[in-house]
Every structure is written in structure tokens, then in C-alpha cells.
Structure 1
Amino acid sequence: MSLVDSERRVLSGMRPSGRLHLGHYHGVLKSWVKLQHEYECFFCIVDWHALTINYQEVGQISQHVMDIAVDWLAAGVSPSSATLFIQSQVPEHAELHLLLSMISPLSWLERVPSYKEQQDRLPGRELATYGFLGYPLLQAADILLYRAGVVPVGADQLAHIEFAREVARRFNHLYGREPGFELKAEAAIRKLGKKTATLYNNLRRAYQQQGDVEALETARALLKEQQSITIGDKERLFGYLEGGGKVLLPEPRPLLSDAPRLPGLDGGKMSKSGGNAIFLRDSSAEVEEKIRRMPTDPARVHRDDPGNPARCPVWPLHEIYTGAETRVALQQGCTSAGIGCLDCKGPLIEAVQKELQPLQARAADYQANPELLRSILAEGAERARNEARETLTEVRLALGLNYR
């Protein structure tokens, strides 16, 4: 019986596309560093996903994987607090993807927004492949394999999490009706104690007979608090609430990032492909050179022209990196033409360099010890495989693929 507490488990990942930049750091990695101390975290380098678009350009994948691992560790993601691993080193991802493909309607995949959006965005790529069509299902398998209840994402990934929820819901509906389910669920209710059991039954009745969604949420919260029953019994009772079966694959929920959107050097979204990124391992000289050549308020043609920070691509970076007192002084200097644009960029250059220095020192240590890096990823893969095997044991049993 599963003892996984899905609500305390996080799964997240990144495609290996090269070194990471400040957008990744502020948008994802800082959040991961915090989450690893609050949840049981699995962080996956999804190298198979890299093949869904770049299957013709595979020469750099292994180097990109190592680069991303170094940047994760340098940013503070810790192998003692989280499980870091490479997707392809856990072949159970592929097996669950295959098994889930048997029940996933083709129309579900075709309606995922990114399927058409990416084809329009990358007209030169041949994306009429099963791998590209099916990558949301592979992503769903990545999540469901670890029965992760929490997936940190940006708003652009919400459709993918909803797809994973639909797949889990369909799987549970088809295969969660274990023999004697109702009897086992009723036995689990009795284990709650008389008072809690009565409350659970009243809430279940209110939802099933009257459609009271608030009663459903209250009942779910009640179950989460229970310490007297096993996780397996909780899974049955979660399913029994809605008139279904045992929850074999818990439905994940998105955890939306509240991190500020980090602009690139041109004011647009920071990205490697946009050529507007400051990378975590850029030298101090590279950081200075990149920021110094950033465009500023187009109205400041001459040094003595007053400017407006609201029109300047540099200003959003100041709002992230420099303190309120410094920003007030810079704003006054800009609007009065008391300072030039290079004067304004100076404090920003210093702040970015200061933030990156300790991170780069840690990165240098890992780069100098590739065996340690490989060992961390191998140990992470083994821990991940242990969890994945447990899930697949239950999935195979539900599908009738148990020959022992």
C-alpha cells in the first residue's frame, strides 16, 4: 500500500538547452531552493523532452545536461534536501508514458494549446512527429510517476497541468474500482472514529446528493488531517467522496510562481534564443559589458535630455536588484538629467555582480569535480527509481499486468 503523501511532494523539471540565466534564477531556482525545505522535492532534467523539438540537434545534449546540473547546484538546490536526476536514467518514465498512452484520447493531445503554438512559432522545424504531439503526455507521466501533488509552474504551463489531471482522473475512473472497494472504504471510515466518520458521511452525502462543492473541499481537508489511517485508506476515501474508486494516481495541482518577470537586455523576456540574457556564469566583465550596452529611454538622445524611468528597459532590473533609497536617487537624477545613463547602470552592474559571485564560486567547485556531479545525479536517479518502481507496481496491478 502506498505511503506517499502527495500534498507534500513536488515534481518540477527543466529541458537541457544550455547554461541558465538570471530569468531562470529568479523565476524558478530561487523558488526551488525554498521549496526543498518545505516539501519532498524531485527535480528532473528532462532530456527526452529536449528531443521532442531538437531531435536533429543532439550533439550538445549531454553537455547541456551537465551545465544545467552545475547551475542548479550553484544556485543552492541541494542533493541532501531534494532529489536531482536525469529523466532518461529513470526508464520508468517511458513505461508509464506508454501505459497512459493506451487510455489518452488523441483529441486531448491535439487541443493542448502549445501543440499549435509551437508549430506556428517554429515554422522551419518538422514537428509533425508523435514525440512532439505526445510530449504533454510524457510530461504528465513525469508528474504522475512520483504521485506529486504539487507542480510549480508559470501561467503558460497551466494547460499542461490540467491535462495531467485529466489523465489521472481517467486512469482512476477506469482502474480504481478494486475488488471490494466499497467494503474497504466503509471499513476505512470506521477507522476515523465515530465523530469524524459521521462528519465525513454527512459531507459526502451533501456533495453526492446536493452537489455541494464546499462540502467536498471540507471533506478533503478533513481527510488530509487524519493520522489514524494509512495513506492507502486515505486514497480510497478521497475516491469514495466523489463516488469513484481508489485514487491510484493523485491529481496534481499547480503552484503558480509569484516571482517577478525578469526582462532581458532589450526589455523583452529574457531568453537564450533571444540573445538578451545574462547567464549565471557570465564573468564580471561580461555582466558589465552586457548591462552597459543595454538600450535606455529613447527620449534621452543627449546627456542633458531629461528621461523617464518608466520608458527605460533598464529600470525593471533596478526594481529587482537595487534598494528603494538608491532607486529614488536614480529616478531623480534621470528625470532631471542630473546623471547620465551609464551613471544609472553602475549600481545595477555592481548588484548583479555581487549576487552572482558566490554562485559562480560554487559552480567552479562542481566544474572542477565532474565525478562528484555524476555521483549526485546517479544517486538521485536511484532514489527516483525506487519511488517510480512503487508507482508502476500499483499501475501494473491495476492494469492486470501482474504475472508474479
Structure 2
Amino acid sequence: MFADRILSGMRPTGKLHLGHYHGVIKNWVQLQSEHECLFMVADWHALTTNYDDVAVIEQSLWDMVIDWLAAGVDPAQATIFIQSKVPEHAELHLALSMVCPLGWLERVPTYKDQIEKLSHKDLTTYGFLGYPLLQAADILVYKANQVPVGEDQVPHIELTREMARRFNHLYGREPGFEEKALAAVKKLGGKKGKLYTELKTRFQQEGDEAAVEAAHALLQDAQNLSIGDRERLFAFLENKGRVILPEPDALLTAASRMPGLDGNKMSKSYGNTIALREAPESVSKKVRAMPTDPARVRRTDPGDPAKCPVWQLHQVYSDEPTREWVVKGCTSAGIGCLDCKQPVIDGVLREQRPMFERAQKYLDDPTLVKAIVADGCERARKIANDTMKDVREAMGLGY
């Protein structure tokens, strides 16, 4: 019924690191060739926790977009845009806030979790309480039907589904729905209109599921129907209200835990990152300084790779023969720790090399990046505006 459309986004809070690449962007690069993708710079979301330190946002925004492009996000295949440049996000957020029960926001698991983690900040703001609702608006304003997330973000998608369901229940029966649906049947033409009516009767009177499938195929092929009329006829077919905001599904992505330089998950808050476009000499210095198995005090002491953070990076960057060489050499003290670290350094630099190459033209001419984003904002706003026309009309604001 709705386009195969994916929305995903990131907050501009600083330079991206390899954890962002392996956890999110690598997946985007694959998705963009298989689906219609919109990738959002979530600058309003950055304000939910960084409202008192906004200086970082603008520079982080442009650095982040260049990182996306460097990592392989293709503006010819995907729409890259800035959230705050599409004001329909804020409008839908406000509209949804009129009908969102307060308890729905208070029970989102990440709400209390983040308040505890960020106890040094005053997060007793509506913006922080309401950010899951803004996330819902981000998704619903594009009628995205899939959102790539990890397991921890599934409750946010469920809230979005509940909001879509509640909105459709309250406003799906638009004024004059049946008259508009019957007018849309006429637009199908005599032969197709008659067939649609027959299929509708077969389903509603006999429960014939095949009739629903046939009617769906008929409507998908109808070239002379507007999107609104097509949606009305889908709803009219099953005696439902019109689906104004479709419920999205969570597209679960494989949990890619990129290890940091200390063996913990790579994160800015742990200070254990390698930036996406970090200078080769800095990468080499950081990896060479990584802690290793404490048992290897001297070069001649054997070690255990399972107790060494460097081994975790070998899982990401080394092939099977190299990993076998590491295990044999470490456990027998046949190789030193610096020997073990070199293939990791080589692997990181090999991964980063094409990123530097892709990024260079945008660094040489920043207007290219701004043109890509301006074009993306225009495309995104056109989709969002179409949705808001439906929302305004459904809520009695279409005058």
C-alpha cells in the first residue's frame, strides 16, 4: 500500500568513529541500493541532551555528512537531509502531542535509563520527555514502513506504531469518507470500477482473502488514482477507516559491537575511539599503545588472546590465517605484542583509505556538501508536506 521506504538518522554531537561505521553506516550503504532511503541529520534531537552546549552542533553536522559520504552513502541513491530544515517534523510532533497519553512517554525504557546515565544534566524538560514522540513524527511524516534499529530501540518503534494506530482510530474516518471512496471508484472507470465492487462484496460477504489480493493488485495498477484516493479504496475494501499514518516495522540490524581501544564497546564517552577519518600516524600510535594480556610482562612470556583487547580487533580486521598466526604466536611467545598489533593497524588503514579518497573532494569544495543537503531537504520536505496535508485535513485543519 505504501512505498518501501526506510528512515534512519544520527545526532550531530561530534566526529564519527569506526563504531558508528560498523554499527550503523555500513548497513545504510547496503540498504540504499535495495530500498528508498532517507538519512536524517537529527539536529533537533541533539538539543534534547545538549541544549546547553549548542556550539558543537553546526560543525559536527557538516563533519558527519562528509563522514557519511566518505563511508559510501550515495546521494544519487539516498536522500540526505537536516531535520530542522523540514519544519513538518515539528508540526506533526505538535499534532501527535495533542493525542499522546503522557504515560506512554513515561514508560519508554530509555527515558529513565538516560536520566540515570546523564544525572549530571538537568533533563526535567518536555523536550527530553517528548523526544520519543518527535522520533515517531520523524518516521510517520515520511510514511516510512521500515526503521533499522538495534534491540534497545524497538520500544521506540512500538510507540510509533501505537501513535499511528491511535491517530488512525481517531481520524481515519474522515468527513465524507464513503462519498469520497465512491467517487474514487468511478475514477477507476466502468470495467475496473465494477470489478473492484465485485471483489469488495466477495470479501465483505464471504471473507474471500483472494478477493482482497486481487483488489490490491487492481488498485496498485490504477494509474489515474491519486495517493489519497488509492488509500481510501484500500480502506473501503475492508470496511476500515483510511490509514493516514501507516505503522512502521522495526528492521532489526545485526548487533555489531565494535570493540574500542580498551576492549570495551567503542564510544566517545569511554575515550577509546578511532575516528572514521583519523590520520594514519594517529591510528598507528593509538593501536600500538593498546593494553594487552597482563600476563605478557616480558616479550618471552606466553599470552592468551582471549584476555587481550587487540584480539577483539583481529576479529573485525584480520582473516583466518592471520588469526591463526596470532593465536599460535601469542600462546607460544613466538611473536611480540607489537608484531600482533601491526595487522590490525594495516586493516584499519585499508578500511579508511577509500574513505579519505571519497571525502577529499568535499573537503576541497564544501559547497558540494551543502548542495547535496539542500537537494535532500527539498526532496524530504515534498514528501513530508504531502503527509501533513492529509494530517491537517483529517484533524479538521484543512481549511
TM-score over 0.5 for the pair:
yes
Q: Number of paired residues? A: 390
CA contact (8 A) 2:96 2:163 kept: yes
Counterpart selection for 1:384 from 380, 383, 388:
380
| Structure 2 counterpart of 1:83 | 79
- When residues 152 and 306 of structure 1 are mapped into structure 2, their CA distance, relative to the original with a 3 A threshold, is same
- When residues 378 and 185 of structure 1 are mapped into structure 2, their CA distance, relative to the original with a 3 A threshold, is same
Q: Secondary structure at the match of 1:84?
A: strand
CA contact (8 A) 1:9 1:147 kept: yes
| Structure 2 counterpart of 1:322 | 318
User: What is the CA RMSD across the aligned residues, in angstroms?
Assistant: 2.8
Q: Give the Å deviation of 1:302.
A: 2.6
Matched, 1:228 2:226: no
Offset from partner CA, 1:47-100 (integer Å, 9 cap, x none) = 000000010001121101111111011111111111101111111111111111
| Structure 2 counterpart of 1:283 | 279
Matches within 5 A, 1:243-262: 244-258=240-254, 260-262=256-258
Matched, 1:99 2:121: no
Q: Give the Å deviation of 1:342.
A: 1.2
CA distance, structure 2, for counterparts of residue 38 and residue 311 of structure 1: 40
- When residues 185 and 335 of structure 1 are mapped into structure 2, their CA distance, relative to the original with a 3 A threshold, is farther
CA distance, structure 2, for counterparts of residue 66 and residue 327 of structure 1: 38
CA distance, structure 2, for counterparts of residue 265 and residue 241 of structure 1: 58
Matched, 1:358 2:354: yes
Q: Give the Å deviation of 1:354.
A: 1.1
CA distance, structure 2, for counterparts of residue 115 and residue 221 of structure 1: 45
CA contact (8 A) 2:4 2:35 kept: yes
Q: What amino acid does structure 1 have at the position aligned with 2:304?
A: N
CA distance, structure 2, for counterparts of residue 196 and residue 307 of structure 1: 76
Q: What amino acid does structure 1 have at the position aligned with 2:392?
A: R
CA contact (8 A) 2:196 2:218 kept: no
CA distance, structure 2, for counterparts of residue 7 and residue 228 of structure 1: 14
Counterpart selection for 1:137 from 122, 133, 137:
133
CA distance, structure 2, for counterparts of residue 219 and residue 314 of structure 1: 57
TM-score (norm 2): 0.89
- When residues 242 and 155 of structure 1 are mapped into structure 2, their CA distance, relative to the original with a 3 A threshold, is farther
Q: What amino acid does structure 1 have at the position aligned with 2:132?
A: P
Q: Give the Å deviation of 1:358.
A: 1.5
Q: Give the Å deviation of 1:197.
A: 3.3
Counterpart selection for 2:338 from 336, 342, 350:
342
CA distance, structure 2, for counterparts of residue 80 and residue 126 of structure 1: 41
CA distance, structure 1, for counterparts of residue 283 and residue 238 of structure 2: 55
- When residues 204 and 74 of structure 1 are mapped into structure 2, their CA distance, relative to the original with a 3 A threshold, is farther
- When residues 127 and 238 of structure 1 are mapped into structure 2, their CA distance, relative to the original with a 3 A threshold, is farther
Q: Give the Å deviation of 1:171.
A: 0.5
| Structure 1 counterpart of 2:17 | 21
CA contact (8 A) 2:259 2:312 kept: yes
CA contact (8 A) 1:11 1:150 kept: yes
| Structure 2 counterpart of 1:210 | none
- In structure 1, stretches of 5+ residues that fail to align are 207-214
Q: Give the Å deviation of 1:228.
A: 3.1
CA distance, structure 2, for counterparts of residue 328 and residue 59 of structure 1: 47
Q: What amino acid does structure 1 have at the position aligned with 2:100?
A: S
Q: Give the Å deviation of 1:361.
A: 2.2
| Structure 2 counterpart of 1:176 | 172
Offset from partner CA, 1:240-279 (integer Å, 9 cap, x none) = 6886411100111111112531111111111112111110
Q: Give the Å deviation of 1:388.
A: 0.8
Q: What amino acid does structure 1 have at the position aligned with 2:203?
A: N
CA distance, structure 2, for counterparts of residue 300 and residue 196 of structure 1: 79
- When residues 47 and 275 of structure 1 are mapped into structure 2, their CA distance, relative to the original with a 3 A threshold, is same
Q: Secondary structure at the match of 1:51?
A: helix
CA contact (8 A) 2:150 2:255 kept: no
Q: Secondary structure at the match of 2:261?
A: coil
CA distance, structure 1, for counterparts of residue 216 and residue 334 of structure 2: 63
Counterpart selection for 2:199 from 175, 194, 197:
197
CA distance, structure 1, for counterparts of residue 377 and residue 341 of structure 2: 43
Identity of aligned residues (%): 57
CA distance, structure 2, for counterparts of residue 204 and residue 109 of structure 1: 42
Matched, 1:157 2:153: yes
Offset from partner CA, 1:203-260 (integer Å, 9 cap, x none) = 9949xxxxxxxx89x9789948963356546644665688641110011111111253
Q: What amino acid does structure 2 have at the position aligned with 1:86?
A: I
Counterpart selection for 1:273 from 259, 269, 275:
269
TM-score (norm 1): 0.88
Matched, 1:263 2:256: no
Matched, 1:47 2:69: no
Q: Secondary structure at the match of 2:299?
A: coil
Q: Secondary structure at the match of 1:391?
A: helix
- In structure 2, stretches of 5+ residues that fail to align are none
Offset from partner CA, 1:173-220 (integer Å, 9 cap, x none) = 1101134546777987986958993898289949xxxxxxxx89x978
Q: Secondary structure at the match of 1:276?
A: coil
| Structure 2 counterpart of 1:209 | none
Q: Secondary structure at the match of 2:148?
A: strand
CA distance, structure 1, for counterparts of residue 214 and residue 246 of structure 2: 15
CA contact (8 A) 2:296 2:303 kept: yes
CA contact (8 A) 1:192 1:226 kept: no
Q: Secondary structure at the match of 2:385?
A: helix
CA distance, structure 1, for counterparts of residue 42 and residue 22 of structure 2: 20
Range that drifts further, 383-392 or 361-370? 361-370
CA distance, structure 1, for counterparts of residue 380 and residue 3 of structure 2: 18
Range that drifts further, 237-246 or 7-16? 237-246
